[in-house]
Amino acid sequence: MELAKSKALYDRALNSIPAGVHSNSRYRNPHPIYYQKAEGAYLTDVDGNRYIDCIMGNGAIILGHDDQDFNDRVKFYSNSGIVTGVETELSIKAAEKFLSLVPTAEQIRYTNTGTEAIMHAMAMARAYTGKSDMAVIEGAYNGWHDAVYVSTWPDLQKAGDKSAPNSLPGASGLIEEVVKSTLVLPFNDLEVSERLLTENKHRIAALIIEPTMIDIGYIPAKKEYLQGLRKICDNLNILLVFDELLTGFRLSPGGAQGLYGVTPDLASFGKAISNGYMLAGLAGKASIFETVTPGKGTCSFVGTYNGHQNSLAASMAFMELYEEKQVFQTLQNRTEKLIAAFAGLAEKHQVKAKMQGRGGHFHWYFTDEELVDYRTATTSDKEKYAAFINAFAGKGVYCSPNYLLHHAISLAHTDGILDQLIAYMDESLKQTVTITAGS
């Protein structure tokens, strides 16, 4: 694959942009690729290489790139000349539409990013419960605030015993005392969670949990686990906060809370909420939003760009098309098709591997272990994943070199494109067997 123009842009970018990228997750060895066009399910780079996009803006672009129906509606809803800084009827319409799709939530406030939504949830939980610290799930990513960027993809040599995981910084530069104050729980383990939460009930204000761990591929929660957490949190005066950045609109139209029938106190949404425009939101119980309601609470919730009109126009456009085009069911059918095909191919090539996913999110694991948490996810064979993904990417698919980073398709990934992906998976598994034979 010719990448000379990307390399030249990278060399130029190094003078003005650290590592040539604005988000470290976009960095690639030996250099990032620079893109010039996106259309439907395809991305084209500056060298003219065309890729089937299986990352789709980290899961944000659910209708497909540059969708004309979406673009037309965004224009329709952003005709006021107002950009930001004031409230409009559109701000209310978007909130009403969101709440009709996610009826378990009573109210929503919009932010720009998921990180901000989670930061607000933490402040509100502190104000509401009178306690200070957070509990998170081992392996999860809930944004880059010091209190939650804890034990995100931790080194298992340092992570301690599963019955009492250590609180490890997700990166350097975080405040050590804040990181240490965060309690880390294993996913899907109700017994350990109950014990640790009970032991720390005097200080834990909220448990922040991605109700299916998509940031480590796709590891679903067991229903009784989420139901159990709901009860434990109620008993211990701890707020249950779902991080639905990735599960929202993908696991079901009502998010993970709709699928599991477990209502959190607060939940962050983003990504698909506006088909790639910059918008996130914090939704949940009206009684908890009183903490930020002037005259009732004293907690802050401010932001120049909160409820940005272009993003709300995009969210309205997305939510209408999501219903009209039955996006969830179509994506779910297509995801099931990919997963079933991969299971057959793994058997054909005698590879211990599986694909897991739902609603357009998915990931491949090279293991035959039951995947229930971060630790079991790390049993996926890195060497086999690398052999597979290099072969797959070599056929012109934009996918993740990281063995735990999730993938996504959109409504623009037609059955024809899926058939092509299935044929590529077949060839890539065959190559994987050859490359890793004897290892």
Ligand X SMILES: Cc1ncc(COP(=O)(O)O)c(C=O)c1O
Please identify which residue in 280, 371, 393, 425 interacts with ligand X, judged by CB under 6 A.
Answer: 280
Strand 133-137 to strand 204-209: parallel, antiparallel, or no bridges (unpaired)? parallel
Asked if 257 is part of the footprint of ligand X (rule: CB under 6 A), the reply reads: no
The count of chain residues that interact with ligand X, using the rule CB under 6 A, is 14
Please identify which residue in 51, 141, 149, 187 interacts with ligand X, judged by CB under 6 A.
Answer: 141
Asked if 243 is part of the footprint of ligand X (rule: CB under 6 A), the reply reads: yes
Q: To the nearest whole angstrom, how small is the minimum distance from the Cβ of residue 282 to ligand X? A: 12
Asked if 42 is part of the footprint of ligand X (rule: CB under 6 A), the reply reads: no
Asked if 142 is part of the footprint of ligand X (rule: CB under 6 A), the reply reads: yes
Instruction: Copy the structure tokens of residue 295.
Output: 């005259």
Please identify which residue in 246, 256, 299, 391 interacts with ligand X, judged by CB under 6 A.
Answer: 246
What residues pair up with 110 in beta bridges, in sequence order? 281
Asked if 143 is part of the footprint of ligand X (rule: CB under 6 A), the reply reads: yes
Phi, psi of 284 (to 5 degrees): 160, -150
Asked if 345 is part of the footprint of ligand X (rule: CB under 6 A), the reply reads: no
> Cβ atoms within 10 A of the Cβ of 91, count?
17
Edge-to-edge strand order for the sheet containing 42-45? 35-39, 42-45, 50-53, 397-398
**Residue with smaller CB distance to ligand X, 394 or 401:** 401
Stretch that binds ligand X, among 78-86, 90-98, 109-117, 424-432 (CB under 6 A): 109-117
Per the CB < 8 A criterion, the answer to whether 221 and 367 are in contact is no
Instruction: Copy the structure tokens of residue 241.
Output: 């906060």
**Residue with smaller CB distance to ligand X, 109 or 384:** 109
- Which residue number has the CB closest to ligand X? 114
Stretch that binds ligand X, among 84-92, 139-147, 222-230, 287-295 (CB under 6 A): 139-147
Asked if 138 is part of the footprint of ligand X (rule: CB under 6 A), the reply reads: no
**Residue in 245, 248, 243 with CA at minimum distance from that of residue 267:** 243
List the interface residues with ligand X, window 191-220 (CB under 6 A).
Answer: 210, 215
Q: Tell me the C-alpha distance between 134 and 2, whole Å.
A: 47
Please identify which residue in 6, 58, 212, 311 interacts with ligand X, judged by CB under 6 A.
Answer: 58
Instruction: Write the DSSP assignment of 125-168 as a string of letters.
Output: HHHHHS--EEEEETT----S-TTTSBSSS--TTTS--TTS----
**Residue with smaller CB distance to ligand X, 57 or 297:** 57
Instruction: Copy the structure tokens of residue 246.
Output: 């990735």
Asked if 277 is part of the footprint of ligand X (rule: CB under 6 A), the reply reads: no
Q: To the nearest whole angstrom, how small is the minimum distance from the Cβ of residue 113 to ligand X? A: 3
Stretch that binds ligand X, among 14-22, 221-229, 238-246, 428-436 (CB under 6 A): 238-246
Q: To the nearest whole angstrom, how small is the minimum distance from the Cβ of residue 124 to ligand X? A: 16
Stretch that binds ligand X, among 41-49, 113-121, 218-226, 328-336 (CB under 6 A): 113-121
Stretch that binds ligand X, among 74-82, 98-106, 112-120, 421-429 (CB under 6 A): 112-120
Q: Tell me the C-alpha distance between 398 and 55, whole Å.
A: 7
**Residue with smaller CB distance to ligand X, 104 or 115:** 115
Q: Identify residue 381 by its one-letter amino acid code.
A: D
Q: Tell me the C-alpha distance between 256 and 243, whole Å.
A: 9
**Residue with smaller CB distance to ligand X, 56 or 345:** 56
Asked if 146 is part of the footprint of ligand X (rule: CB under 6 A), the reply reads: no
Residues 6+ apart with CB under 8 A from 134: 122, 125, 147, 148, 181, 182, 183, 204, 205, 206, 207, 208
Q: Tell me the C-alpha distance between 361 and 90, whole Å.
A: 30
Asked if 115 is part of the footprint of ligand X (rule: CB under 6 A), the reply reads: yes
Per the CB < 8 A criterion, the answer to whether 243 and 275 are in contact is no
Residues in contact with ligand X by CB under 6 A are 58, 113-115, 141-143, 210, 215, 243, 245-246, 270, 280
